[in-house]
Amino acid sequence: MFTVADRTGVRERLLAYAEADDAIVGAAYTGSLAVDAEDRWSDTDLVLAVRGDLTTTLDRWTRWLYEKLNAQHHWDLPAGASRIRVFLLSQWIEIDLTFAPEGDFGPRGPQWRTLFGQEQPVDSFSLPDRNTLVGLVWHHALHARLCIHRNRWWQAEHWISAMRDHVITLASLRLGLPDSYAKGAHLLPDELMADMEATLVTSTNASELNRALAVTIAVATDELRRSAPELATRIGPMLAELADETAASGPPAGRRCSHGR
């Protein structure tokens, strides 16, 4: 893999190319690099303010990364009027380049460090919607249970794991921690994460899936009481009923179902 020197060299070339490009009128670091919190393995998040046609500049930069920095692959993330293009260079160096219209160049969160150019007032990133997260929790619990009934072991595991992810997000929001991609999970209380560990599925058989689902429902219900007590009052008893049924279940009977989610 890359060394710190390799990564530093790539950053220097990126900034030199940005400063020489007349279409680039601003640049800023985001992520851990912007707040001096990077470590040996951090990637590089760079926002570029583009004057003029965004696509023309994006295409030119993409060609340059392949020709000069030995890019191996890229893919895009949606970002409103901006375009986030994620590049993989050789030696596993990741570069996340955001190409933003000049008027959208500005901090949307605390992790921002302007390198050159004029910041503009922009809206902050919105937090995940708590009500939607609660909905995903009960939805995933229900569909995990149905998949176990249908002998769909891997789909059941998918729903259980996704449910756990949403519980981590709810807890992170409640405690004011980073909420995306489990970035704040390591900062959650040890007691909560010890309970969360028991939700991991260790085998795709009915008995283990039933156990993991019952535990995940219990952990989720506890978090709902903390994060959304008014919703927990209504949904909690239904989740408890589902957990009791799940915990008491043996291997499901019947043939494999080929229809339905």
pLDDT digit string (tens) for 142-160?
Answer: 999 999 999 999 999 999 9
Indicate whether 255 pLDDT > 50. no
Tens-digit pLDDT profile for residues 30-48: 989 999 989 999 999 999 9
The whole-angstrom separation of Cα 104 and Cα 112 is 14
Q: Are 26 and 120 a contacting pair, CB within 8 Å?
A: no
The CATH classification number of 4-116 equals: 3.30.460.10
Strand locations in the chain, DSSP E?
24-30, 44-50, 71-79, 82-89, 93-101, 112-116
For residue 138, the Cα-to-chain-centroid distance in whole angstroms is 20
Question: Where does CATH 1.20.120.330 sit in the chain?
Answer: 130-247
| Predicted local confidence at residue 259, as pLDDT | 34
Among 20, 84, 77, 29, residue whose Cα is nearest residue 54:
84
pTM over 0.75: yes
Question: Where does CATH 3.30.460.10 sit in the chain?
Answer: 4-116
Three-state DSSP at 209 gives: helix
Q: Which CATH architecture has domain 130-247?
A: Up-down Bundle (1.20)
